[in-house]
Chains A and B, each alone.
Chain A
Amino acid sequence: MFYREVGDFKTTYAADSQTFPIAFDRVRYYFVLIVAVLLVPFLIDDYWSNAVFVPLLVWSVAAIGLNILTGYCGQISLGTGGFMAVGAYACYKLSTEFPDLNIVFCILISGAITAAVGMLFGLPSLRIKGFYLAVATLAAQFFLVWLFNKVPWFYNYSASGQITMPERTIFGLAVTGPNVEPWAQYLICLAFVFGLAWAARNLTRGSLGRQWMAIRDMDIAAEIIGVDPLRAKLSAFAVSSFYVGVAGALYFSVYLGAVEVTEAFGINQSFLVLFMIIIGGLGSIFGSLVGAAFMVLLPIVLRNILTRGLNWDTALATHVEFMVVGCLIMFFLIAEPHGLAQLWNIAKQKLRLWPFPH
């Protein structure tokens, strides 16, 4: 009934190769966009923005970034936290050294700096694969965190080693710092997520994305048909790190406002992003978004139900939350090893035939 191609005629090549070829899907996509842009900003308060939407959007960017590298190009990375730290510290240094620089450019340049660092740490991928590459990127994670702890220049010689984001504005409106309006904070993150997800979707559909996927599926075969592994792998590292860097910059500047590298960008964050894309679905932009939503929102929902809905003791609720989230992760991976995106695809196929399956 839903998801029918019937009656949805394509008369141009552009229309034929669009991202959402089915009319129903397209309408749904525009509906979500309209709700996100025109409705949500008027409804959210500090809590919804700071605890729900902003972390969700920031982690979505990071998940898309890692999915480009791991899901599309097949290079495992455990350095996500370290690369996010590069983005955050770049953003801090840029915004304190050049106070007049617009925050949007500041975040984009931070992404570019992270891309350069990511390419540097991506070099070993030309020689090593799989678990060995994971270990090499793990080294990047520990090295980068150690570096930002060790060299006081990165945190402007502050006594505590913390970095604090000064207030920055767009068109006279604060988007970072304590006086930020919740909707402004939300909208800037949404703008980045939309722009980056759109770019990622189109990159992965184009020639570069096909090269990445060829490398992922079998690198020797890809090389034989003319894919340059050096270019493909390093470009994947660069693009992925750019995304992760932007996520790190947003995480620091818009979301938290002050961070400490060991806690905010530790190995746990690398695993968190990896879990997001594994649960959401490798090689899927939609999967990155769903995976981020799953990992960010589920604990919050559970905690609120247990402590506010059922009035449980907070410590007990936290322990139960760990167990339930763990069990749900296992359940979803057993139910569909290819992640929530695949589950959604299956549902879509079923809906196409429904209610006449034969």
Chain B
Amino acid sequence: MKIARMTICALMLAAFSAPAAYADLVLPWLEYRTGPYSPSGIPTADGFEDYLTLINERDGGVGGELIRVVKCETGYNTAKGVECYEQTKGEGALVYQPLSTGITYQLIPKVTADQIPLHSMGYGRTAAADGTVFEYVFNFPANYWDGASIAVNHILDLNGGNIEGKKISLVYHNSAYGKEPIRTLEKLAEKHGYTLSLYPVDAPGQEQKSQWLDIRREQPDYVLLWGWGVMNAAAVTEAANIRFPMENFIGVWWSGSENDVLPVGDRAHGYKALALHNVGSDFPLFDDLRKHVIDTGKFAGDGTSVGSVLYNRGMYGALLAVEAIRTAQEIHGVSDITPQMMRDGMEALVITEEKMAELGLPNFGPSFAVSCENHGGPGTGWVSQWDAHNQTWSIISDLITPDKEIIDGLIAEASAQYAEEQNIARRCQ
């Protein structure tokens, strides 16, 4: 009885207090394995955790320091994301990867005040690519505006460089995430002469019947998709229902995973999506991963998502974090780095083809170098296509470079506006 009461007291204490810090390298992961976004959240989280487990098991951590992943469930909800951030930041968090544009927006001012780096890989606030304004925020190797431009460039390629008068529709999650590409697409429409029509889908995105009825009436030449979670599968299903040609339906890299097309079956054959990195598990790294993590049963989740697109995404995020830690350790000559040192490491991060090959992922992602001014990387990407018969994604294009002229102008404009609103002095002068 007494013990039971003491346990309850201890639990009550534990219920609110944040635990003491350990001397590990702490990488927090704001995951979502529940709710309508879990189809996207689970494989990404698995990939992130498994790669770090591999680093700990195979190499004994980075520079002799073990990596500890601190997990917190957000359910893709911004208020919970803030709670998670406040709860985990005291443990010595090196870099945050919230995997949610809404939470990223929320955390940008907070991490800047707390001096903890934030890495939104291929999502988040696009203006953060301007390192002169956003000191602690990184979004390399590519951002939404790059994505929008890559998609348009792909359409240009398909049409021999002329899309004058073509109709392009954007089906998007009606949130900060889905609205991000609109301005870029409008700018590109001015330049290339296509007409753009917008179809917002309210969260969580299962209800899209009316939008697709409109699309059927309007008969656009191409449809772009900016969806996440259950919205993706619903969009591909609706597109199949109105018999929209799948090869003209292009999703952003967040709308191109196995979970988005498998529920639709054969009718999803030919659906295209942008790719931030290479697809599949045909890389030397996966042998190590199988040996040290999968076969030993130390994998995260249920182990079924290994090698899927989003699993690779999570893995790539973890890989970039680990390489940034390594860079920071080299710069500062200590192994137990602080978040500020981590920031220096991220800003000096150089990823080359040789390095990727050395890590067991040749030809997996782009080569790039982060600098004080450029936190956004090269912005390049591929186009991948779904083969419903073999149930595989495959890369069908060369590395596509976005229209940097337009995007850099937009980024400069947006970051200047943010700097003025928040009264931020420019760095790197």
Give chain A's interface residues, CB within 8 Å of chain B. Answer: 45-48, 50-52, 55, 96, 149, 159-162, 164, 166-167, 177-179, 256-260, 262-264, 266, 300-301, 303-305, 307-310, 314-315, 317-319
Contact = CB atoms under 8 A, between A and B. Distances in A.
A256 B200 CA distance: 24
Contacts of A260: 78, 102, 105, 175-176
Nearest to B421: A166
Interface stretch (B11-19, B208-216, B252-260, B339-347): B11-19
Interface stretch (B108-116, B159-167, B322-330): B108-116
Contacts of B34: 315, 318-319
Nearest to B418: A164
Nearest to B73: A314
B109 A301 contact: no
A263 to B, nearest CB: 6
A55 B86 CA distance: 13
Given A260-B176, A315-B34, A318-B75, A159 B86 contact: no
A314 B422 contact: no
Contacts of B87: 47, 51
Contacts of A309: 10-11, 14-15
A227 to B, nearest CB: 40
A46 B202 contact: no
A314 B33 contact: yes
Contacts of B18: 47
A304 B16 contact: yes
A160 B83 contact: no
Contacts of A266: 203
Given A308-B14, A309-B11, A314 B421 contact: no
Output the residue of B73, B112, B414 with the most chain A CB within 10 A: B73
Contacts of A51: 82-83, 86-87
Contacts of A315: 31, 33-34, 38, 73
B16 A48 contact: yes
Contacts of B60: none
Output the residue of A45, A149, A300, A318 with the most chain B CB within 10 A: A318
Contacts of B200: 149
Contact of A300 (B83, B126, B202): B83
Interface string B94-120: 000000011001100110110000000
A53 B338 CA distance: 29
Nearest to B29: A314
Contacts of A162: 102, 105, 176
B109 A262 contact: no
Nearest to B38: A315
A305 B14 contact: yes
A315 B71 CA distance: 10
B15 A305 contact: yes
Given A263-B102, A318-B73, 19 more contacts: A45-B90, A46-B86, A47-B86, A47-B87, A51-B87, A55-B79, A159-B180, A159-B414, A160-B176, A162-B176, A264-B79, A301-B16, A304-B14, A309-B15, A310-B11, A314-B31, A314-B73, A318-B75, A319-B34
Nearest to B111: A178
Interface in B217-248: none
A308 B109 contact: no
B265 to A, nearest CB: 27
Output the residue of A47, A300, A309 with the most chain B CB within 10 A: A47
